[in-house]
Structure 1
């Protein structure tokens, strides 16, 4: 079972011991960020720094000026790592330590893009824009994301890529100083808060026989009890259908599902066209098609007909793993169980051996560990011990 750990280039650049430290964990592969969203990240072992503030979504390599010349939507270069090409510098060090390197590419999650180009953002039923969430139904956004996928994924020496947020993003977002938890929303209500009403989506709803204004009003009515009380806990697609009405809910999912599937097809095709034969393409995914976010909702049968496999969120109770791995049972392709191993972020490296074995019993054939640069020394020691006992 191949195991890969996630890393940022800044975990490696400027730390001559970083690559060997990762190799000593017993992993064979690193999934290294090539395009990433804004973040503030701890670097607990770096000899020169303790905090990196990535102020906006950016690529961690020099973008190709010919590809992006004359285009309004283009990737932003980074400025917080003292290197011309931090991705390449980190990848070379990791490769020299005997590790295979795959790229990690975040697509439809970009707050700066939404701030500078507000017309590209998801617009909810109340008219509020989500600047962190580019609307993937908009032609200019799709063109940007497809080209970004190809460029960021296929870096020199990379053997594959993992595409995160290759689909709809929505309400849920860890924004700076978030103040959104006063009224709790279950994932059914979050779906309603994630429905987009930009001009492209309004046209899409009309193609499903829906009047966009009437649909927005129905969404607001369905959510009114949440605001009048303490929120909602309803979860699952049947809960969405009960809140909004089955016909309306199903029509919205038909539109959004078509948009997401065609984006995934186009992004994977663009990556493969740019890469050498044998380049592996995985998507971070959730098997519930209505879900939004980093692990975007997919149709299990469709996604495995397009990509080489999926990376699935498996941290937590057995039931959580069963929910995400179960729909993929018996299917061909890479099923990578993704575990958070940072105790301070809700991970459980102490139970990794047991949890990984459980995932394998459900069909997982690879492991992903988030995140070797953020984890404490005790967390990494627990990971190394678990992998040694698992023989990974």
Structure 2
């Protein structure tokens, strides 16, 4: 089974030993970030630093000035954490070691974009904006994301791409110093708190014969028991039309992004989406309908526990990459990698994706190498 790992450019640039160390793990490919959100990342083996602070979402290469000239929404360039063409420098070093390089593109997750352009953000039923979550119903946001997908995916030397957050984003921020856990929010509560009421979404609900003001009131009513420690109520008549509209909005964005990447790439360039098999899910693994997304992209990257629904919709040649955490300190289990990989393969996985070799300790990486030797 082909195995790849996620890596940041700053894991490689300035560390001549990094490409060989990755190759020695037994992986065959690297998914290298080319557009990424803000983060604070450990670099436990780098000779020049131990912690990298990416202060805002940015492209990790020089963006095309002609493409973005005069546009309000445009990608930000990285600061000292990834100067110049950090992606290109890292990609060349990895390729020189014999590793296949795929670009890793984060789309609808960008706090600085929301801070600079508040109208671009998701607005919940209470009127609160989520600046980290661009609303994918807005035409300007969609145009920005589609062009970003094409530019950030098709980098020199890349054999393919993996598009993350290609769909709705919502309440979960996934990298901030978060303090929203005081009230437990399950899947349903997260969904309700992620429904958007910006002007574009309000218009979209109207296209489904849903009054947006009535819907917002229904969402607040449904959430009222949650703040007292109970479960959310249902939205009753609003459930189906709202999900139908949101699903259609995400589908058309995914179709447009994949088409733009393919138009910019050479034949054979592989396009995968980070995906969840439940259409209402928001976040890095965007909610999808498995049959639809596998008819659009070449495959998906999905948590190992979510492989089976995609496998039931797979076609010959479909890529189903099971994403498995291997950083013990982040909840991963490198000690059980071989067993976890075997279960994923039994569910239909065709590849493995390991999160994340740049963040893992030496002990974790030793266990990964041992497991990959076992898997052959």
Contact kept in structure 2, 1:53 and 1:80, CA below 8 Å? no
TM-score by length of 2: 0.98
Q: Which residue of 1 aligns with 2:138?
A: 138
Q: CA RMSD in A?
A: 1.1
Tell me, which stretches of 5 or more residues in structure 1 are unaligned? 235-241, 315-320
* Partner of residue 344 from structure 2, selected from 331, 334, 359: 359
Corresponding residue SS for 1:243: coil
CA distance in 1, matches of 2:175, 2:330: 16
- Cα gap change, 1:231/1:202 in structure 2, threshold over 3 Å: closer, same or farther? same
Q: Which residue of 1 aligns with 2:299?
A: 309
TM-score by length of 1: 0.94
Residue 249 (structure 1) shift: 1.0
For 1:155-304, list aligned pairs within 5 A. Answer: 155-227=155-227, 229-230=228-229, 232=231, 243-245=234-236, 247-304=237-294
Tell me the number of residue pairs that the alignment of Structure 1 and Structure 2 aligns.
374
Contact kept in structure 2, 1:330 and 1:363, CA below 8 Å? no
Tell me, which stretches of 5 or more residues in structure 2 are unaligned? none
CA distance in 1, matches of 2:309, 2:166: 21
Contact kept in structure 2, 1:329 and 1:362, CA below 8 Å? no
- Cα gap change, 1:21/1:309 in structure 2, threshold over 3 Å: closer, same or farther? same
Q: Does 1:326 align with 2:309?
A: yes
| CA shift digits 1:12-34 (9 cap, x unpaired) | 00001000000000011000000
Contact kept in structure 1, 2:54 and 2:81, CA below 8 Å? no
| CA shift digits 1:191-245 (9 cap, x unpaired) | 0000000000000000001000000000000000001x2254x7xxxxxxx6211
Tell me which stretches of 4 or more aligned residues in structure 1 moved more than 4 Å: none
CA distance in 2, matches of 1:267, 1:81: 27
| CA shift digits 1:272-314 (9 cap, x unpaired) | 0000000000000000000000001000000011000000112
Residue 179 (structure 1) shift: 1.1
| CA shift digits 1:305-346 (9 cap, x unpaired) | 1000000112xxxxxx1x442343251210000001000000
Q: Which residue of 1 aligns with 2:353?
A: 368
Farther-moved stretch of structure 1 (330-339 vs 112-121): 330-339
Q: Which residue of 2 aligns with 1:239?
A: none
Corresponding residue SS for 1:14: coil
Contact kept in structure 1, 2:291 and 2:313, CA below 8 Å? no
Contact kept in structure 2, 1:28 and 1:100, CA below 8 Å? yes
Corresponding residue SS for 2:259: helix
Residue 173 (structure 1) shift: 1.3
- Cα gap change, 1:146/1:155 in structure 2, threshold over 3 Å: closer, same or farther? same
Contact kept in structure 1, 2:307 and 2:344, CA below 8 Å? no
Q: Which residue of 2 aligns with 1:237?
A: none
